Amino acid sequence: MKKVKGYIKRKSMLYVTGVEYGDYTMNHVLGCAHGCRYPCYAFMMKKRFGKVSSYEEWLEPYLVENTLELLDTEIPKLRDKIKSVQLCFTTDPFMYRYDEVGEMSLAAIRKLNKNGIKCTVLTKGILPIELAELSEENEYGITLVSLTEAFRKRMEPHSAKYPERLDALKKLHDRGCKTWISMEPYPTPNLVRQKLEKILDAVSFTDRIIFGRTNYSKDVSSFPEQKDFYNQCANQVIEFCSEHGIAYHIKEGTLTQLDEA
């Protein structure tokens, strides 16, 4: 197991995401040991605003030690406005091998659920089975953009292996939990040769799939057929989900054929 680099205090915890499929969010860690190289939007923003100075620093997470105290203060004020809280947008709530982070995430989810607030979780780590004992309203998700381990090692170097991630999600599904997949940022063929149908088949047990293109990447913007590629992939996801009774959301800017018709 790994230890966080240190502890910080914050003044607030719950805030509105402003993204297309989110409501409220909380980010109780600064930094993320997974070190994704897509690039990671959270890292780019934290670097731009001077919160971290380098990629190496980003890899060493700081836990917000007053997370639960902040929730105790904020939940009563916001309870009536919140539809759900997503963990997390700028870090990972079940950071691989960082038990302290996972324990804080579980405690936060328990507290939110106790106050009647649903949580949506997304990780590139391992979802703990204890989540199955929490609110039935919660939704548990993993990011899965490939099944090729060599690609994971290159692009998400310190995350959990794909089979382990999937296995933990399936166990929660088998216990009756709602599960979902974030298939974003999906890579173009110049980054990895793979068959989308194989990934879709591997996640056919889930309740919802969110599919989105890769942004902010020179490799992707230099791939000449990227628009056609993403249109084809998005249509394939829609077809697959429709056939299997899976809810789906295609992120803005991914399916462009309709805009141009």
Question: Minimum distance from CB of 194 to ligand SF4 (Å)?
Answer: 19
Nearer to ligand SF4, 91 or 105 (CB): 91
Our CA angle for 161, 163, 169, nearest 5°, is 105
- Cα–Cα distance for residue pair 114/43, rounded to 1 Å: 32
Closest CA to 130 of 144, 140, 116: 140
- Cα–Cα distance for residue pair 62/6, rounded to 1 Å: 5
Using CB under 6 A as the binding rule, the residues of this chain from 204 to 233 that contact ligand SF4 are: none
Nearer to ligand SF4, 87 or 119 (CB): 87
Using CB under 6 A as the binding rule, the residues of this chain from 68 to 127 that contact ligand SF4 are: 91-92, 124
Q: Which stretch binds ligand SF4 (CB under 6 A): 35-43, 160-168, 216-224, 228-236?
A: 35-43
Q: What is the DSSP letter of 174?
A: H
Q: Which stretch binds ligand SF4 (CB under 6 A): 16-24, 34-42, 170-178, 204-212?
A: 34-42
Our CA angle for 161, 1, 108, nearest 5°, is 85
Q: Which stretch binds ligand SF4 (CB under 6 A): 14-22, 27-35, 166-174, 211-219?
A: 27-35
Among 42, 52, 233, 255, binds ligand SF4 (CB under 6 A): 42
Calculate the dihedral angle through the C-alpha atoms of 200, 173, 150, 191, rounding to the nearest 10 degrees: 40
Nearer to ligand SF4, 118 or 124 (CB): 124
Question: Minimum distance from CB of 249 to ligand SF4 (Å)?
Answer: 18
Q: Which stretch binds ligand SF4 (CB under 6 A): 3-11, 33-41, 75-83, 96-104?
A: 33-41
Nearer to ligand SF4, 34 or 165 (CB): 34
Nearer to ligand SF4, 124 or 208 (CB): 124
Helices (H), ranges, the chain: 41-48, 55-58, 67-78, 99-114, 149-155, 162-174, 196-202, 218-221, 226-244, 257-260
Question: Minimum distance from CB of 31 to ligand SF4 (Å)?
Answer: 8
Q: Which stretch binds ligand SF4 (CB under 6 A): 40-48, 74-82, 171-179, 217-225?
A: 40-48
Q: Is 40 in the site for ligand SF4 (CB under 6 A)?
A: yes
Catalog residues that contact ligand SF4 under the rule CB under 6 A.
32, 34-36, 40, 42-43, 91-92, 124
